[in-house]
Each structure stands twice: as structure tokens, then as C-alpha cells.
Structure 1
């Protein structure tokens, strides 16, 4: 499986929903919560852009975006391939 990182903040329903989908997919992920380490926010902005909201999700080197984008990939049938390390077709 490809490494998955998810930047989160406390009280974020979208963060919870994204983690729930990844858990249902049995995808191991690293949660980078800004409550446990405030420097994660700067790392997230650097990788995702200064206007980024929570969560921000990365699968391997690919910036997926947020919760809505993650669910859209799943609905399109592309998420499983990405999690397996395959290139998603556009």
C-alpha cells in the first residue's frame, strides 16, 4: 500500500469522515494533527497551498485535496488503485 498522510485539526467533521473512509478501505494512514504539533500546519500549507482547509490528504506524492475529493475518487472507482500504488487514470 502507498503511504497516506492526512493533516487534521480537532473538531473537524470532514477530518473524521475522511479518516472513516480510509479505515473502511483498510488503508493505513499517518494522521498529522495540528493539535499535537503546531508545525504540521506550516508543513500542510507548504505542501497543499496557503489557502488550504482541513483535512488535506496525500496519497504517496499525490495531493488528493480534502474530504470531498477523497470521496469523489472513491465514487469514481479510482481510490483503491491509488491506495494500491497504481496511477489513477484521469
Structure 2
């Protein structure tokens, strides 16, 4: 069973590191799809997020959050904790 939070990343991506750092600080378990480990994950990400999507791309449950800026935006708005709690309760 996969975790309810999924993040597509690439090596050397500062935004990827920042997003993973925030999720870790929130004690959120996440599944990371690092395209260096499996290049087919890039196409999978594009299929899910749309071509032209940048790294990282993040899903919380069925919700496509977007990238790092959107993740931090949810946190600033006070919405991230609730989203993480709701998927944790389901899993």
C-alpha cells in the first residue's frame, strides 16, 4: 500500500528538497518518485499533472497540489495540516 502523499522529484532540485523538508517537518509520510531511479516516472508525472509540469509535483490523496510554491502556500493559508490529517486518517 502506498502512502497518501506522493511527490515526483529530480536530483539537484532545490524546490524538491524544500517540499520534502516541509513534509518531513509536518511528520507526513510520503512516497517519493525520483526520476533518477526510474526515468519512466517522468512520463507518469506528465500523464498525471499535464505536460510541461515542473519538479516537484505533489499529490495529497487524490488532490494534485502542484509544486513546492503551492505546498508552502497551503501551509501559509493553514490548510496543509488539515489535508495531511485527512489522508492520514484514511490510510
Q: Which runs of 4+ in 1 moved over 2 A?
A: none
Measure, in 2, the Cα distance between the counterparts of 1:64 and 1:25.
16
Taking structure 1 as the reference length, what is the TM-score of the superposition?
0.92
Taking structure 2 as the reference length, what is the TM-score of the superposition?
0.91
Q: How much has 1:84 moved relative to structure 2? A: 1.1
Measure, in 2, the Cα distance between the counterparts of 1:83 and 1:75.
14
Match of 1:26 in 2: 27
Q: Give structure 2 stretches of 5+ with no counterpart.
A: none
Q: How does 1:56-71 map to 2 (within 5 A)?
A: 56-71=57-72
Measure, in 1, the Cα distance between the counterparts of 2:52 and 2:36.
19
Q: How much has 1:17 moved relative to structure 2? A: 0.1
Match of 2:76 in 1: 75
Measure, in 2, the Cα distance between the counterparts of 1:65 and 1:56.
5
Q: Secondary structure at the match of 2:86?
A: coil
Count of matched residue positions in the alignment of Structure 1 and Structure 2: 85
Deviations 1:55-80 (A, max 9, x none): 00000010000000000000000000
Q: How does 1:1-90 map to 2 (within 5 A)?
A: 3-85=4-86
Q: Secondary structure at the match of 1:81?
A: helix
Q: How much has 1:12 moved relative to structure 2? A: 0.1
